[in-house]
Structure 1
């Protein structure tokens, strides 16, 4: 853990005013604690910079904390080309910022869209944009030999994400919110060290530095659900119900993440215990012993099936709670009801119960 120690006024007559020092500490302190500079001083790190205040603050804070070492900080920007000239101006701004600090800059560009997304298409277009953006960041990390990719997601992003998921419907995994870190590639980690820092504090930090940034005009459009959550729902909840809503949601995400990790560990153990013929570790069908799994609560059985789907790269988008529950019922139903029953799930995945055996497979691989 790293402690930030700004110079004391008595030691440095050029120290910034107390209010400015407080703002700087409020940003650099949490960053150093969440992601100690010694972890990345000797490795290459990609800083994902959109040009907005969060990512620009991340870059400036990283540069403030950077210690002498063999590592490099590389700026990466993905131009989604969804806002015409505004998108191109964002790209130019990020290039200029990287040049100012003598940093290498990776630029990616999306294909020119046929048209701007309609409000009804926003969720799909946002997901497609996210996939494109992270594909670019992953490729940039591999090309540059980076150990980390850092993004500027904040506590406000976490709160908005949780509320958005609650509105649409979610479970424990969804309540865990934005992950603080995850693996992009072998040896490459995605880190989000600002998840406990408020966006307003980052804007104050940039003001102290005299650092400008870009604004995405589409973030103001009220026809998009996430914007209404940001500009209407959260302010109303904070003013009328709980002024500390955002940190409260952050704590909920942390607790849900801990529960989710426990669930995954338990489910993995039960999966290993119930898999027949070492089928879990091999390609092809997965055979499960329902006599073992009948001891397990449906919550863990559902999580176990999620792990199977992920390991086989089977489609999960259309696997609703009802679908996962249907699989759990196939495990728990009595033998007399299941001498031979079969269900087909999204993506053509076949689940067949024969006696005490449940077999999962793809349709092009005969059971």
Structure 2
């Protein structure tokens, strides 16, 4: 067992890997990561699946079979991707059971082209849940304005959700509201709230990437001194909101009915700027009860030289707010930053989905 990663897990951070492939499953690599690197969950997306499909022979036989059956590209995706997620769910089943549903989770993403279509997102979330047919699957729904009511409806139906693409504390506030609204509807329908879980994926590194670019453009010493500080401050303020929410009367009423808190999940935790510490978005966001979903490069970096120093969030709210005040003072329009990041995020998700369609289409054509 890697001691550095074990220390992170012992501090209360659930380590999820941001990657999944059939080769990981069939080779036993995923089980090795569980046994040796404290990995207790997996997230995946169209880019990851497209890469897995194009970089190995693990899918070749199934692609041939699907082609022989006359499957089109969408049918092939709706077969192969849920198959991988289902198999991963089975690998993680013991962790799911032992953690009472908080970990042992595998995420699968709703078609991002539906990010601004509430009704279709709800329908597709139900379809994916049925296709995977495992209790430890999390259906990923983006936190767009159209996604918020879809999150509520999906939770109300008893389906656990990974809310993705959250950048701002204000949007996170709306996500928490959507989760509680869904739980309240589920309770009214007589559903067992203890069986419903959710994580809120708060994106980290992309915030610094965009704000650092703007700070460089401003060019002052005051601006440059703020580089690499916005994303961590933003995440810490999000956790402050989480604490305030679970202390509220509304949440306490749901908790009394067995509801589980929607855990904060730090996403996009791979460092984009090579001049930064490659473990900063892990080490500086430690507190009991959160999830950090890491690309394997970041996982290995932390395993090699990451240092866990206990809670690095809850004592730093004043400093985080000070960073935001200073960003505003030097001329950073945070509302514009977050709006741009969400728009770009949806666009990137759609590009990834289209690349997946192309990759699967080419695989079928060659089979």
The answer to whether TM tops 0.5 is: no
The TM-score, its normalising length taken from structure 1, stands at 0.30
Q: Larger C-alpha radius of gyration, 1 or 2?
A: 1
Higher relative contact order (CA 8 A, sep 6+): 2
The TM-score, its normalising length taken from structure 2, stands at 0.30
Larger relative helix fraction: 2
